[in-house]
Each structure stands twice: as structure tokens, then as C-alpha cells.
A = this chain, B = another copy of it.
Amino acid sequence: MSQDYSLGTVEVALTPVQRLEEYLQSKGKRVTQQRRIIVEQVFARHEHFDADDLLAQLRDLIGPKKVSRPTVYRTLTELVEAGLLRKMTLGGRSVYEHDYGYPQHDHLHCTKCDKLIEFSSDEVKKIRDDVGREHQFRVTGHRLIITGVCSDCSRSRRTARPHDLI
């Protein structure tokens, strides 16, 4: 039985697992235990994560040895191909976030605590398309990361190292 699955502000018809099965079938790939487990866990929490985070989550919630590291990497790649996840590179390591059923957005990256804060701006989309047009560039996406220090970190630093602020 298929039920409605809502996440964030967008309504979608299929659960991530169903969406994955659809994708796998269309590619002649197989619906395995580990692929199912991975999608479930990936969509059980909404935070940004990397391969290690996911591996740890699997180890803790599902138990160790259920899914191997190579399989995690291989499956993450498939989830990106399937449009379920979005991948971005942050200082050498690959970080993933939900794509399926989740609105487009950009990020504020705190360089003190490494936190990622999401925001969305229609203007960015407009600029993106305008610039693409000007350069006869066929735009497929963009990535805007604003770096700085989040309010939490600014606060905690204020007492300790006032000269750090501007």
C-alpha cells in the first residue's frame, strides 16, 4: 500500500524507498537488503552527513557488519543518480543531503563549528539564470555557500577573544 509522504514543504507521492525501487527497476538493478537499509537510514534523519556519519549510524542503529563501507559509498552514488540525494564537497570530503521531496536551497557554513544552515533565495535562481544566459552557458545547477561564523559561535567567542570580532 502506498501512502503519502511529506517532508519539508513539498508533497511527494512515493516514499524514498519506493522511489529507489522505481529507479533500480528502471536501471535493471536489484533491490537488495543493504540498499533498502541505507535509504531508510538516510531518510530517517534530515541532517547533512558524510559516508562516515552514515556508517556510524548504521553501526549504531542497525548493528555492525550489516553494510560494508564500499557498499555505502556505492549506494550513496546511486542515491545521487536516483535524485534522492544531493552531494556537495566541503573541504575535501563529500557531504550529502536530501534532495528528493526537499526544496532547493543554499547554505551558510560556519567555519568555527562546521555547521551548515540552509536558506533559500529566489534571487539566487534569477542571478544564476541571467548569468548563464549572458555566457551562453547551459546551467544545470549551482552551489552557493556563504562562509562565516554563526551566531552561536560569535556569542561564545565574544567573551573569550573579543579581538577576534570585527
Contact = CB atoms under 8 A, between A and B. Distances in A.
A132 B151 contact: no
Interface string A72-115: 00000000000000000111101000000000000010110000
A137 B149 contact: yes
Nearest to A89: B89
Nearest to A110: B137
B148 A131 contact: no
B146 A131 contact: yes
A144 to B, nearest CB: 5
A137 B123 contact: no
B136 A147 contact: no
Contacts of A92: 89, 92, 94
A139 to B, nearest CB: 4
Interface residues of A, number: 38
B111 A132 contact: no
A44 interface: no
A124 interface: yes
A108 B132 contact: yes
Given A111-B140, A137-B108, A165-B138, A132 B146 contact: yes
A148 B121 CA distance: 20
Contacts of A29: none
